[in-house]
Amino acid sequence: MKMLFDTHCHLDDESFAGDVRNVIAQARSAGVTRMLTQGTSISSSLDCIALAEEFPEVYAAAAIHPNCLMEEIPRFGDGSVFLEIFSQMAKNPRVRAVGETGVDLYWHDTPIEIQKQYLALHFELARRTKLPVVIHCRDAEEPLLETARKDFEKNGPVPGVIHSFSGDLTFLRACLDLGFHISYSGSVTFKNKCFDSVRETVCEVPLDRILVETDSPYLTPMPFRGKIRRNTPEYVQHTARFLAEMRGMSEEEFFAQTTHNALKFLGITES
């Protein structure tokens, strides 16, 4: 049976509140046997951990999304409280990554210097917990690269993934040079010309560093975009098929490779 790993979803989102059990069951029936649900705040991260404890198909990531920082940081002081809170969360074996962190200049919820400060703190959290980091980047390539390069030069690199990759070849090469994995969401299937540069990167990612995701309930892939009320983990199969075709690979080979990549990246024993 074909198996897939949706490496980025938001199962704690309110749109799933009434039927998350059914959403997970439908994903499993579609061959999506594992999902990594991403925390975006303290409460969101705790909810993700609870889901991972309840459903064997689900693993959790814990962090603060850059657009949620201003609501959370008053309790953190100099950052040591942040590190303590999330280090405790990471002791749960169902937590497999630090995420979702990053930099976002599309929205203006958080000053850029605070975003960069907390991205570096998330890198430190990843070092302390020996977990990979899941990185959000929207209209913020330069500050992201600047922060990562500065931090890695001083403290050493950490494994990471650029989720829902939306950059061009130049950004891709910079991310690969930093050792990052690259994850594609349904946005790579969008017909808009602005995504042509993203599609140009698909065949340039080393096969052992490519991942697939939904970012559900967002970014529904074609041909379902605009036709269903929300994206769900089962739809990762459509993005994976699109990528497999672009790379000239069979579905079976690509599905197996990306699942293997995800398990290895997250330190999960294959079964």
User: For the segment 173-206, what is each residue's pLDDT rounded down to a tens digit?
Assistant: 999 999 999 999 999 999 988 899 999 999 999 9
Task: Tell me what pLDDT residue 270 has.
Answer: 78
pLDDT at residue 92 is higher than 70: yes
Rg (Cα) of the chain, in Å, rounded?
Answer: 17
pLDDT tens for each residue of 109-132: 999 999 999 999 999 999 999 999
The residue to which tokens 């942040």 are assigned? 82
Query: Which residue is associated with the tokens 């958080």?
Result: 110
**Amino acid at site 16:** F
pLDDT at 78 over 90: no
Which of 27 and 226 is assigned the larger pLDDT?
27
Q: How many CB atoms lie within 10 A of CB 207?
A: 13
Structure tokens at 262: 């995800």
The residue type at 14: E
Which CATH architecture group holds 4-266?
Alpha-Beta Barrel (3.20)
- Beta bridge pairs of residue 212: 184
The answer to whether residues 151 and 113 touch, using CB atoms and an 8 Å cutoff, is no
For residue 20, give the 3-state DSSP assignment.
helix
**pLDDT classification of 75: cutoffs 50, 70, 90:** confident
Both tokens of 98, joined, read 């630090």
252 CB burial (10 A radius; 0-12, 13-18, 19+): exposed
- Residue 251 pLDDT greater than 70, yes or no: yes
- Provide the pLDDT for residue 246: 98
Tell me the pLDDT of the chain averaged across its residues: 97
pLDDT at 91 over 90: yes
The pLDDT assigned to 1 comes to: 60
- What's the average model confidence in pLDDT over 67-75? 94
pTM of the shown model? 0.97
Q: Tell me if the bond preceding 223 is cis, omega within 30° of 0.
A: yes
Non-local CB neighbours of 31 within 8 Å, separated by 6+ positions: 1, 2, 3, 4, 237, 255
For the chain, the structural domain boundaries read 4-266
Closest CA to 90 of 35, 137, 48: 48
Which residues 6+ apart lie within 8 Å of 1 measured at CB?
A: 31
Q: What is the mean pLDDT of the segment spanning 4-23?
A: 98
Q: Work out the percent of the chain whose per-residue pLDDT is above 70.
A: 99
